[in-house]
């Protein structure tokens, strides 16, 4: 009986485990609530053990002899002299570098990324994987896919986040792949962790194109095309680059810049690479220091950006960057297939309601997007109602005319360049009343010669 009962339970448990494996392989994050709860309870223990161990270790270190300390002091003084000299040289160089950067209009440098310091509290105990946990979590602003650095080099990437802990997969883990490039040549390659090279302290570099100039000792940094890693973070130095067996590509080994033996404190870069993909509107993909989310990035656009892109956008008839309301739906006033297909009362009532909405919102805010929407709303309603009675058109005309001065004041108030405001108003009013069927874009283009 005992055996039968346990056999059934065994079958049930095995099936349950296999199902969990399948589900969690297919759908990420399904176990996160449970992970969070248990992590919340157990991580303080892990942190505590870690602190105690660290404290003991520090205590033991203090009991060294005076001779040792003096020797170390001497060595450190020599090092200080060396570093001071290096520092002086670098200060001169960095002055030149910032001038050159300004010249090129780049202000992207990974030192500007906001960082959070964290401590390693637990490691995967097997030698098969190189995964560790840090003691900061989502309540400290850690998110999945944030890069982790230590000792001046890339260490890993965050894979899992709980309330007060996060799991980081190190780049030397067998399953880790980093898209990288040589610093001097900007040729892309892939840096892969490999368990067989772990003892030698190396990683593999693969997929180097045959005619590139990556050489021994070249610095390898994360590339711009990486989907998860921020660009420009130092990974290590290339060694032993040679052609592979098929003679199609080159591959080699990489000695990492960071020291993996001794990981205790790491830095987590708060910027997530996918946030900068939302930053497309800013024209040159700039990363603003200290900006956390995409909304903040959009709102924190610098003056320089606005000026440059203001004239650029104005010339092409689009809304200047500084006036884009990130929360507004840019597609709301556009004509959809449904509008073209449906004619008749439904569309009229829908568009009228739409127009009323835009009028109301237009009365409230000074956003050029609204004016763009309302004008395009008018245009779309125009096109679909060409067969309607004239009464409706006159109603619409009067609505448009009352709207026109408002939109004009808003548009000119929003622009930062100097214009003769009254001139543009009267001219624009005349244009609007005369050209009823123009596109919203055409309207803006026609106004721009007034700038």
- Say if residue 421 is exposed, middle or buried (CB neighbours under 10 Å; 0-12, 13-18, 19+): middle
Q: Which of residues 20 and 106 has its CB atom nearest to another protein in the complex? A: 20
Which two structure tokens, joined as six digits, stand for 241?
């680059």
- Say if residue 249 is exposed, middle or buried (CB neighbours under 10 Å; 0-12, 13-18, 19+): middle
Distances (CA, A) of 357 to 13, 352, 363, 372, 444: 58, 8, 10, 14, 22
Q: Which of residues 54 and 277 has its CB atom nearest to another protein in the complex? A: 54
Q: Is 179 helix (H, G, I), strand (E, B) or coil?
A: strand
Length of the chain (residues): 451
What minimum distance in Å lies between the beta carbon of 103 and another protein?
45
Rule CB under 8 A: choose which of 123, 209, 210, 383 binds another protein.
123
- How many binding residues for another protein (CB under 8 A)? 57
> Within 180-316, where are the H helices?
273-277, 294-299, 303-316
Q: Which of residues 47 and 381 has its CB atom nearest to another protein in the complex? A: 47
Each residue of 106-137: b (16+ CB within 10 Å) or e?
ebbebeebebbebbbbbeeeeeeebbbbbbbb
The whole-angstrom separation of Cα 320 and Cα 313 is 5
Each residue of 338-359: b (16+ CB within 10 Å) or e?
ebeeeeeeebbeebbebbeebb
Q: Which of residues 174 and 325 has its CB atom nearest to another protein in the complex? A: 174
Rounded to the nearest 10 degrees, the angle between the axes of helix 421-434 and helix 390-414 is 160
What minimum distance in Å lies between the beta carbon of 142 and another protein?
16
> What does the per-residue mask of binding to another protein show for 103-122, with x meaning CB under 8 A?
-----------------xxx
Q: Which of residues 226-285 bind another protein (CB under 8 A)?
A: 261-262, 264
Q: Does 124 bind another protein (CB under 8 A)?
A: yes
User: For 121, which DSSP code?
Assistant: E
What minimum distance in Å lies between the beta carbon of 72 and another protein?
19
Q: Does 53 bind another protein (CB under 8 A)?
A: yes
What minimum distance in Å lies between the beta carbon of 91 and another protein?
37
Q: Which stretch binds another protein (CB under 8 A): 13-21, 224-232, 402-410, 413-421?
A: 13-21
Rule CB under 8 A: choose which of 59, 65, 91, 196 binds another protein.
196
The whole-angstrom separation of Cα 341 and Cα 420 is 43
Q: Does 19 bind another protein (CB under 8 A)?
A: yes
Q: Does 418 bind another protein (CB under 8 A)?
A: no
Q: Does 13 bind another protein (CB under 8 A)?
A: yes
Q: What share of the chain is helix, strand, coil (3-state, %, to 5)?
A: 50, 15, 30
> What does the per-residue mask of binding to another protein show for 82-101, with x meaning CB under 8 A?
--------------------
Q: Does 169 bind another protein (CB under 8 A)?
A: yes
The whole-angstrom separation of Cα 253 and Cα 269 is 26
Q: Which of residues 259 and 439 has its CB atom nearest to another protein in the complex? A: 259
Q: Which of 348, 156, 105 is nearest to 266 (CA)?
A: 156
Distances (CA, A) of 22 to 174, 176, 390: 21, 21, 64
Q: Which stretch binds another protein (CB under 8 A): 193-201, 222-230, 360-368, 381-389?
A: 193-201
Residue 147 bridge partners (DSSP): 157
Q: Does 56 bind another protein (CB under 8 A)?
A: no
Q: Does 128 bind another protein (CB under 8 A)?
A: yes
What minimum distance in Å lies between the beta carbon of 174 and another protein?
7
Q: Which of residues 18 and 395 has its CB atom nearest to another protein in the complex? A: 18
CB neighbours of 119 closer than 8 A, spacing ≥ 6? 47, 50, 134, 135, 264, 265, 266
Rule CB under 8 A: choose which of 1, 2, 211, 364 binds another protein.
2
Q: Does 174 bind another protein (CB under 8 A)?
A: yes
The whole-angstrom separation of Cα 410 and Cα 420 is 14
Q: Which stretch binds another protein (CB under 8 A): 101-109, 131-139, 316-324, 434-442?
A: 131-139
Q: Which residues bind another protein (CB under 8 A)?
A: 2-3, 5-7, 9-10, 13-14, 16-25, 30-31, 34-35, 38-39, 42, 45-46, 49-50, 53, 120-129, 131-133, 159, 167, 169, 173-175, 195-196, 198-199, 261-262, 264
């Amino acid at each position: 009986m005992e055996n039968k009962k346990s056999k059934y339970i065994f079958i049930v448990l095995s099936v349950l485990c296999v199902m969990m494996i399948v589900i969690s392989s297919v759908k990420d994050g399904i176990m996160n609530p449970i992970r969070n709860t248990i992590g919340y309870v157990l991580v303080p223990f892990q942190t505590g053990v870690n602190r105690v161990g660290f404290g003991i270790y520090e205590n033991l270190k203090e009991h060294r002899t005076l001779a040792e300390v003096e020797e170390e002091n001497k060595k450190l003084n020599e090092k200080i002299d060396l570093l001071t000299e290096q520092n002086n040289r670098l200060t001169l160089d960095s002055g030149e570098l910032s001038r050159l950067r300004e010249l090129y209009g780049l202000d992207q440098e990974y030192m500007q990324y906001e960082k959070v310091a964290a401590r390693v509290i637990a490691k995967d105990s097997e030698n098969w994987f190189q995964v560790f946990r840090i003691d900061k979590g989502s309540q400290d602003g850690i998110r999945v896919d944030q890069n982790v650095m230590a000792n001046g080099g890339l260490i890993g990437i965050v894979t899992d986040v709980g309330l007060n802990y996060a799991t980081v997969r190190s780049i030397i883990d067998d399953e880790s792949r980093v898209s990288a490039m040589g610093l001097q040549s900007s040729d892309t390659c892939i840096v892969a962790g490999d368990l067989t090279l772990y003892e030698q302290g190396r990683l593999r570099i693969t997929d180097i194109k045959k005619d590139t100039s990556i050489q021994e000792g070249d610095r390898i940094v994360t590339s711009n095309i990486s989907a998860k890693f921020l660009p420009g973070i130092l990974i290590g130095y290339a060694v032993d680059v040679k052609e592979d067996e098929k003679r199609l590509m080159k591959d080699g080994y990489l000695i990492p810049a960071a020291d993996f033996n001794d990981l205790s404190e790491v830095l987590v870069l708060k910027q997530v690479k996918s946030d900068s993909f939302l930053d497309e509107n800013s024209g040159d993909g700039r990363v603003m220091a200290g900006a956390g989310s995409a909304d903040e990035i959009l709102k924190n656009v610098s003056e320089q950006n606005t000026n440059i892109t203001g004239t650029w956008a104005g010339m092409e008839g689009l809304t200047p960057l500084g006036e884009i309301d990130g929360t507004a739906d840019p597609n709301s006033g556009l004509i959809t297939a449904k509008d073209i297909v449906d004619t008749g009362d439904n569309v009229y009532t829908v568009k009228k309601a739409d127009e009323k909405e835009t009028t109301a919102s237009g009365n409230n805010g000074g956003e050029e997007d609204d004016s763009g929407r309302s004008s395009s709303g008018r245009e779309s309603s125009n096109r679909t109602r060409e067969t309607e009675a004239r009464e409706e058109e006159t109603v619409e005309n009067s609505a448009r005319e009352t709207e026109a001065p408002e939109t004009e004041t808003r548009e000119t108030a929003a622009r930062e360049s100097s214009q003769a405001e009254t001139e543009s108003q009267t001219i624009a009013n005349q244009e609007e009343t005369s050209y009823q069927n123009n596109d919203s874009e055409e309207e803006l283009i026609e106004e721009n010669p007034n700038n």
